[in-house]
Structure 1
């Protein structure tokens, strides 16, 4: 075949280069600044070179403009679990995104959008050229297998990039080939449903190209479980609600009449993953994070089906701020501790649920690893926490990058997607649906996953609506702090309702009304402990005299009103805030784009 010149990232796992992206012209967000410039004859001439090009596509997931912070910890907030960085809106960056007062000029919009498109451009190159390689058809069995896998990886990565763009911006320009082959780089928006159809078809193809976990070495590369789980997730979004600029309810949340077709796709893909047995739940919920992700290890059960591999170092080398921007701070001053667990979310957990104290961390940590309790209104998320990172240097370090991976899809999510789709399609819960959600619940309560347990299993005889409500709650308890909740609520058309309900619940909690009547003003923890140990219960009034050998934290107080109730999602507007605006620079250079949804 005849190759034309193109630019690619030639990267290795040990040396990932970051992106420096601007948006002076529409074409620029389909291109990247190259580390080296090679002809496609060279890049797509052998398997090792293609592997480097594929690693460059993976790299577009990482760093500050990827899941290193913005896509993971700015865009998914506020929701009914957590708040973004504390403080009033008006900074024209992350606080305005969290408070839903974002404007098209917001400084945090342009670069993530550009980086996602740069990943698409590199994926388009791989998808176009790999099947045209002579080795793809006539190479050795090993070469053909490796190239097929990388073709499937490129299809899957492109689907993830487009999915992230759609769930944040709605309809977007759609490109499926290298930019030099495009006759128009200044495209208008493509209906998201058309894009979803291509992505679902691409992932169906990729599932036949990519091996299962256990058939290849254990690392962070995409395997077939990830392909099928992503296809299930995208199908549920295709079948769910989304904010539309046109249609029978222009400018409102809408759902297609053929949504059951997509729930069927999701159900079938999840069933394949479940029956294959390549992935299973870790018996310990805490271990998934403390002993795997935070310990820089691959989770041994395959529960973390797909995680974004962070290289370590800086944003320029593809790292993340997980454990620095969020989670416990060092000595109360080092680290942002920026994401706050809502008190109402903390109290939504059953006290026996082990997931509460993994997801919610009510403390800072000293340089010696000693717990320093935080007030309830300053409780941070805990799945990515400094004191669980295996490198002891983080307890004395001012560094902002700890090399923690971001989990994109876990097996528990697959079980819950299966249960949700079963309930929708069958008009009520089935035995298989009950089993799927109960496996997740049993593990959460520290029970044996495979054995029925009446103390935690959902009661039999639930209606379709009741079972759906159980799914809504279970997904929150299981997946809290993993960047999923806001988007789940949007596809269920529940975001507005849940925000309003959460505001009322926060007011009731501060006033100690109803179920919150007996909550304490102070909670005591064990002193000089390296783990948070509640000496007094967060569910009962505090004793008149402080217990010995304890440290205290303010609990129910008016501070919750000033830092949370008055600010939480303060600018949310139904039928607008479900999506972000396009950055001003995009419209400046492309007159074919429109700013929709009331921005």
Structure 2
């Protein structure tokens, strides 16, 4: 079966150049004028319009994004270039330059969406159905980026196709932004194609999965349960069966085209140089993931490491294949913590050049849908149900190398042991930690659950023996100074996030 991967080669001031591929990359370039009089009329031009924010998102969800969120968790410490971000386990956002760059890329991606959304209704060389499809894909991408803006910066300016020419724009409230996200995703879930047009563009299930997660934040659990159940019932996805750690390469591996767990990944490409730099932040150029197989051919920053005395690592059953996937003990030398350090080894690419790896960025996986469904079904019922436990057991069985869909007395959790909502949520947090370690999702998850002080607040700092104290400034990132410099509707004294 042939697949096409959505890749934008480059974005020029005067036009777009777009690449697609079948099995191997076969480049076909299209360059278009950005004149508002003749662009966004054809399907090819609309497709290029979708490629633009996707390309920018590969920059937004880079090493800075993943590293910053991972070092806010209870299982990570930073090293090297990220030491300045660290405050006993929580990010120190006074070092805002890197985060400001992510802010810029997110808004730039949103701007590309808005520009196309403003012009697509007048397209004269597409059917109404085609226009709706491309519009839905763009609204999904816009919603995803706003979801991450509101979760990490709180109230922010809400820039849309209707006000995109307004330079000075005040912040919209968190509730207003969530309402906007929901409307975008409702449209996307109804109008995106049933099967994604290209590998790397969103389909209906991606929109439903994201909307289900958004509903968890707005506490509309019945809707979250309904949508996540629809994604599961579509039978479009399944957990990849594994028997060894390296079988997880079918989910996270280098040069991967797609997998049955992929709901929405940002695709990378060695051919056009649009690779992912994050792997170099978790690797060491000398570390061998298996004998004779180094994680990265080139210089790694090796800034992430975990403390093997940390309760997450030290209590993790090493028979769980996810332990071997994620935790790579490594001695850095006298300047670190010797035998107590570990690399985060989920991603690797032996063919990487320098710090860039051809590893797709897993923004939405089937595991995420199962985790959402497990919690939503329990909250709707007021207590864990057989379906709630089964969703977690699927992840656990796979972790131990068993068939995810077949009950297994050796590893299955039993409902009778987790018969209250509180007990189940604690179990959910443990299983989510193992399943999504190093995917930039855990901090947001425990923050939404209100577990951050219980988990990160009791985080032992191996460096000085202290425990974390979480301050207000650690919940939201600093709004960049540049936003206040150029957006005169905002006031630094009134509109900056607490603690800055």
Per the TM superposition, whether the score is higher than 0.5 is: yes
SS of residue in 1 equivalent to 2:411: coil
Name the counterpart of 1:379: 342
Name the counterpart of 1:22: none
Q: How many residues matched? A: 458
- Flag the 1:268–1:36 CA change in 2: closer, same or farther, 3 A: same
SS of residue in 1 equivalent to 2:375: helix
The runs of 5 or more residues in structure 2 that have no matched partner are 1-11, 22-30, 289-297
Name the counterpart of 1:452: 407
Asked if residue 67 in structure 1 is aligned to residue 61 in structure 2, the reply is yes
Q: Distance in 1 between matches of 2:88 and 2:74?
A: 15
Equivalent of residue 440 in structure 1, options 395, 406, 409: 395
Name the counterpart of 2:366: 411
Equivalent of residue 327 in structure 1, options 273, 276, 283: 283
- Flag the 1:36–1:496 CA change in 2: closer, same or farther, 3 A: farther
Q: Distance in 1 between matches of 2:257 and 2:224?
A: 26
Deviations 1:128-170, CA, capped at 9 Å, x for gaps? 222332344xx3xxxx554432211100000111111111100
Shift of 1:178: 5.7
Equivalent of residue 341 in structure 1, options 295, 306, 309: 306
Q: Distance in 1 between matches of 2:15 and 2:258?
A: 29
Name the counterpart of 2:186: 204
Counterpart contact for 1:57–1:123, Cα < 8 Å: yes
Counterpart contact for 2:206–2:364, Cα < 8 Å: yes
Shift of 1:320: 1.5
Q: Greater Rg, structure 1 or structure 2?
A: 1
Name the counterpart of 2:38: 42
Shift of 1:591: 4.0
- Flag the 1:87–1:401 CA change in 2: closer, same or farther, 3 A: closer
Asked if residue 359 in structure 1 is aligned to residue 326 in structure 2, the reply is yes
Shift of 1:14: 6.8
Name the counterpart of 1:540: none
- Flag the 1:199–1:41 CA change in 2: closer, same or farther, 3 A: same
Q: Distance in 2 between matches of 1:412 and 1:573?
A: 29
Asked if residue 574 in structure 1 is aligned to residue 471 in structure 2, the reply is yes
Equivalent of residue 161 in structure 2, options 163, 177, 184: 177
Name the counterpart of 2:439: 482
Shift of 1:287: 5.6
The runs of 5 or more residues in structure 1 that have no matched partner are 1-5, 16-34, 239-258, 366-373, 507-560
Deviations 1:174-198, CA, capped at 9 Å, x for gaps? 0121655x4x321111111111112
Deviates more, 1:199-208 or 1:583-592: 583-592
SS of residue in 2 equivalent to 1:361: strand
SS of residue in 2 equivalent to 1:408: strand
Deviations 1:267-307, CA, capped at 9 Å, x for gaps? 11100001110111111284674234323123332x02111
- Flag the 1:481–1:288 CA change in 2: closer, same or farther, 3 A: farther
Deviations 1:193-219, CA, capped at 9 Å, x for gaps? 111112112111111211234xx5662
- Flag the 1:330–1:417 CA change in 2: closer, same or farther, 3 A: same
Name the counterpart of 1:596: 497
- Flag the 1:237–1:77 CA change in 2: closer, same or farther, 3 A: farther
Q: Distance in 1 between matches of 2:58 and 2:331?
A: 27
- Flag the 1:484–1:219 CA change in 2: closer, same or farther, 3 A: same
SS of residue in 2 equivalent to 1:134: coil
Name the counterpart of 1:56: 52
Counterpart contact for 1:96–1:102, Cα < 8 Å: no
Name the counterpart of 1:291: 250
Q: Distance in 1 between matches of 2:114 and 2:133?
A: 15
Counterpart contact for 2:32–2:39, Cα < 8 Å: no
- Flag the 1:9–1:435 CA change in 2: closer, same or farther, 3 A: farther
Asked if residue 12 in structure 1 is aligned to residue 18 in structure 2, the reply is yes
